[in-house]
A and B are shown apart, each in its own frame.
Chain A
Amino acid sequence: MEMFLYIALFAPLVGSLFAGLFGASKKKLFVGIISSFFIFVSFVASSILLSYVLKTGSSIQVEMMTWMATGDLYIPFGFVVDQISVTMMMVVTLVSTIVHVYAIGYMDHDKGFNRFFSYLSAFVFSMMILVMSDNFAGLFIGWEGVGLCSWLLIGFWYHKESATWAANEAFIMNRIADLGMLIGIFLVYWNTGTLQYTEAFAAMPGLDTETLTWIGIFLFIGAMGKSAQFPLHTWLADAMEGPTPVSALIHAATMVTAGVYLVVRSNELYALIPHIGLFIASLGAFVAIFAATMALVNRDIKRVIAYSTLSQLGYMFAAAGLGAYWVALFHLMAHAFFKALLFLGAGNVMHAMHDELDPFKMGGLGKSMKTTMILMTLASVALAGIFPLAGFFSKDLILEVAFIDQHFIIYGVLLLTAGLTAFYSFRIIALIFHGEDRHTALGHHPHEAYKFMLWAMAPLLVLAIISGFLFKGGFFEMVTQLLPATEYHIDNAATYWTITIGTQIFVLLAIYFAYKKYMCKSIKIPDGTSAMENSFKYKLLINQYYIPHFYEEYLVKPYRALSTIFWEKVDNKIVDASVDGIAKIIYSSGEKTRGMQSGNLSTMLKWMVAGLVILLSLAVVFGLAARHSVEITTILSGLGV
């Protein structure tokens, strides 16, 4: 089985390196195909591992080699395939296989074709390290690796200022979180003496709550960065500058869920500190609604989807925070499928519209892009959580969890968010595919994407539909061998049915409302005149609560200003100047006093006599003070005389 583990892990790397060989040369189709193939290999290997894990219920652990070893510190390259990691592996490899295939079509005309695949496979490799590592250090490798790849991929079109800016923003923001992560790791090491998951978690019950709390907080800060939780969320929306497949893979399905994975992975830790758990849950709920509101008004389909991702991540954290780790993981999986689907659909639309992203400039695309419409609609249905699609089983489960754990505020928030989710999803569906044609006027002639791209999306569609009711049971069976197996079921049938059906109706209403509002004939491209656009709440939302503005004004600019001050004022004017100052003083004192050497003989003689006289007078003084010599000595001893 180790062999399959290594295959699953390293196949993407091989693919990436292979593609890298042609990085500089011009587009070669086979590059895309071969790297996709390697990802597929990895997928197959992962499936084999999955079946093994399912069959035996045991986990595979290997130690490839030592990485760092000094003092008491021992960090190997160790990998583990257990129920949790194998789930992630499946999700990652599956989605990335599909995205790779899709990208062959999507990146068709891009001159960076080979480079793109090299980066994308590299990402998959780092993601595999992240999920398969059996220690925190290894996790951190993957953690930073995916960060790097996302930097590369967001900034893939590096000639675009906005893209490179977004890339740097993403990287730096993640760095801030990574610091927290690093500190968390240090805490784990100095308190448990190891970084291996099993041993570390085994040692944790022995620690005092405060330490555990700190560990929990710092690790979660790491998670917040990757999963773009408030207040480190702004990068995710901007990350949409990257090519759409990237958004689908990295910023919807896999990387952003790394935070959730981390929390789930350290469930034994968080189980010990429920108060932190509650905080996580609350933050999750807040982010859920916070992001959803921003999605309501945004006029960029990719950003809308990005915000919805953010909001869904909020759901996951809510679940994880409340201790329903398996639920969180389950929603993670389901979400990966339909959200990737949604993004790829959006990709098709973009292609058709020549990278036009404003849904108001589309409309009625349904006629020319039927398949895409169906795909996206179904994905949105799944996202909205309509029975029997995936969303229903995973997302409503989280509502139930909140309800059962008596966290009614969280429940309420999440419920409301569910409604918002449905609304904004179908808002864009309506705007894009229905209503009347607004794009021909703008000179667009949309066309459906390549067949094979659509076929590539098919598996996602299937999964988005069936993964809910089909997998739930088995999934529960599998992961609860590691995770706390809490059944979430409302005993009272009446209550159960009321809230379930109630939720459904609420969501359906939201959908109906969205259609009603955005299919009517009178929709025109907003030009900032309508009363709604000038309303305060609209401005607030469209400006993302002015948070990016705040960061720019109160963090970035001051930092830049302070740096300049440090350089020009402090470093040059103070630190350096003082050094030169000393030199100058010495030199100038020379210039001033050299007059003493006037070269005139009688002055020289005067100097000699003067010296003599001074010494004489001192001698006389001393002669008088001779009897006090003792004190003098004591004073002078201070001089080291």
Chain B
Amino acid sequence: MNPVDISIESLNLVTLAPMLIPIVGALFILIIDMIKGGLDRSLYVMLSLLFLFMDFAALLNASDIFTQSGTMMGVFDVMLIDGLAILSQFIIVGASILFIPLVLTNKRFHESSYPEFFALFLFMIGGFQFMVATDNLILIFVGLETASLALYTLIAMHNRDRSFEAAVKYFTMGALAAGFYSFGSMILYALTGSVEINQIAQVLEADNYANIGFVLIGVVFLLASFGFKLSLLPFHTWAPDIYEGSSAPMAGYMSIVPKIAAFVVSMRLFEFLIHSDIVWLEVILYIIVVVTMTMANIWALVQTDVKRMLAYSSISHAGFVMAAILIATTQANSALFLYWILFSFTNLGSFAMLWISREKNLPPGQSSDQSYEKFSGLVKTSPVAASIMALFMLSLAGLPPFALFWGKMYMISSAITGGYTVLALIMALNSAIAGYYYLKLIVYMFMKEPSVAHQANVNIGNITLSLKTIIGIAAVGTIFAFLAINPILEFVTSFVYNSGY
């Protein structure tokens, strides 16, 4: 038994800083609550904001280090801070910063009165950050589950029948997905004797994919579990229900943060396989991508509830972006990040718009919170809200020059550059189909007469300064995206490129 001596330097603890900050924050909040309960939600909101900003600062610092000295390993080489990690964490934290103030609604909702809500929220962020900042299957698993478990609880805390149903569904399927994940990683471990993705890759390369069949079986399990996280067909079935069940901003948040984390991991997991052209994976991904975006679009067409429509639309967006993993070029990967940054602005904005029109209980004689009828003639009653909502819809439809157009354009371009011309066409035409259901809402808002059941005060009943601010930020980001594209693109591309993707 020789004593274990490890120098602290070699641990390179700075790599842990970004993840630790939210966790510390969570504990801090819990402690405060222990000391003196019954404090107002605004306190917790601001506290979490503070910690998130600190987190952000830590990330900036990390990105500086990255730009100087490239990828860092740390903590027994479990942590891996490369471009992808930093970029995705930026998105995660940024989106969270945009999300938190949405709790401060005019009407008080159940979850916001619990400090645990905020603690769990911060835990979740920490989990996601771990998930993206490593290429160790164990840590990925741990991060994933930490985040997911927190998320289930957050959904349930909305304290509505539907949110419980949603939570249970999400949880059960999540458990199944966890099973898949562990089984998949077990197989890879069996084949290679390692749980570090890059080492797995090396080993597989080394014996030149001798027993490809087993590798594929392992990949299938992992694909299934991440397909669940990314809501790719046929693992998407949870998404619409969960989105509908949970509160609007939470749904918006779920459509962004867990997915970017999952995207990063699947980049790490699958792209090396693509690069060592495993044709099978290419084909499967090709099919999954096309089917996901097409079918999701088609189902979104027939929805009668706006939130559910947005759920399907974000499934379709996920499929759209999944193409980047398939194409697996630097341009594609940077397109993925660009797309997701812009998407998070627009999507959070649109879900926030739903949030402000949320009523405490289901509107009488209606099965859903945000039916299309609810928005009919909105332009007459509250023009500004209508215009902003329309703006987000147009952006989601990919109408230039609004935010998401640039993402779509760059993604399609990367498909072309990658030689997937047909795919590019399919993507383009899907945006055309998608145009219809986004347009449908605009038609309701601008071209129909207001229905007597809903007055303006309903449709913007929840509005408060903080919500206004967030929506304003989202709107501005959506409109003036074209000014920011160039710096973002350069930043993203350099990061992706330097981390070797």
Listed in ascending order, the chain A residues whose CB lies under 8 Å from chain B are 583, 586-587, 589-591, 593-594, 596-597, 599, 601, 603-605, 607-612, 614-616, 618-620, 622-624, 626, 629, 632-633, 636, 639-641
Contact = CB atoms under 8 A, between A and B. Distances in A.
B145 interface: no
B202 interface: no
B57 interface: no
Given A597-B237, A607-B237, A636-B283, A619 B220 contact: yes
B217 A616 contact: yes
A593 B295 contact: yes
Nearest to B221: A612
Contacts of A601: 168-169, 172-173
A629 B423 CA distance: 21
18 contacts: A586-B298, A587-B301, A589-B298, A594-B299, A599-B241, A605-B172, A607-B237, A608-B237, A609-B176, A610-B234, A611-B224, A612-B220, A615-B223, A619-B217, A620-B213, A623-B214, A636-B283, A640-B423
B401 interface: no
A607 B420 CA distance: 29
A612 B420 CA distance: 26
A544 to B, nearest CB: 58
A597 B234 contact: no
Contacts of B168: 601
Nearest to A608: B235
Contacts of B240: 597
Contact of B302 (A594, A624, A626, A640): A594
B465 interface: no
Contacts of A626: 212-213
A618 B284 contact: yes
B234 A611 contact: yes
B433 interface: yes
Given A607-B237, A608-B237, A618 B282 contact: no
A607 B235 contact: yes
B419 interface: yes
A605 B224 CA distance: 12
Contact of A604 (B173, B300, B433): B173
B213 A604 contact: no
A612 B179 CA distance: 12
Contacts of A610: 234
Given A620-B213, A623-B217, 14 more contacts: A587-B302, A590-B300, A597-B240, A605-B176, A607-B237, A608-B234, A608-B235, A611-B233, A614-B234, A615-B284, A619-B213, A626-B213, A640-B423, A641-B286
Residue of B169, B212, B237 most packed against chain A (CB within 10 A)? B237
A605 B302 contact: no
Given A608-B228, A608-B234, A611-B234, A641 B283 contact: yes
Residue of A590, A608, A622, A624 most packed against chain B (CB within 10 A)? A608
Nearest to A602: B172
A614 B180 CA distance: 14
B439 interface: no
Nearest to B168: A601
Contacts of B422: 639-640
Nearest to A589: B298
Nearest to A615: B220
Given A611-B227, A640-B423, A619 B172 contact: no
Nearest to B209: A626
Looking at chain B's contact residues, the main secondary structure is: helix
A604 B170 CA distance: 10
Nearest to B177: A608
B151 to A, nearest CB: 17
Contacts of A639: 286, 422
Contact of A597 (B220, B224, B282, B299): B299
A640 B280 contact: no
Contacts of B423: 640
Nearest to A620: B213
Nearest to A623: B213
B279 interface: yes
Contacts of B322: none
B102 interface: no
B199 interface: no
B219 interface: yes
A623 to B, nearest CB: 3
A255 B240 CA distance: 78
Residue of A593, A604, A619 most packed against chain B (CB within 10 A)? A619
A641 B212 contact: no
Contact of B279 (A608, A611, A619, A632): A632
B344 to A, nearest CB: 25
Nearest to B326: A641
Nearest to A585: B298
B451 interface: no
Nearest to A601: B169
Contacts of B286: 639, 641
B238 interface: yes
B298 A619 contact: no
A608 B224 contact: yes
Interface string B232-275: 01110110110000000000000000000000000000000000
Contacts of B213: 619-620, 622-624, 626
A620 B214 CA distance: 8
B301 A586 contact: yes
Given A590-B301, A608-B176, A640-B423, A619 B224 contact: no
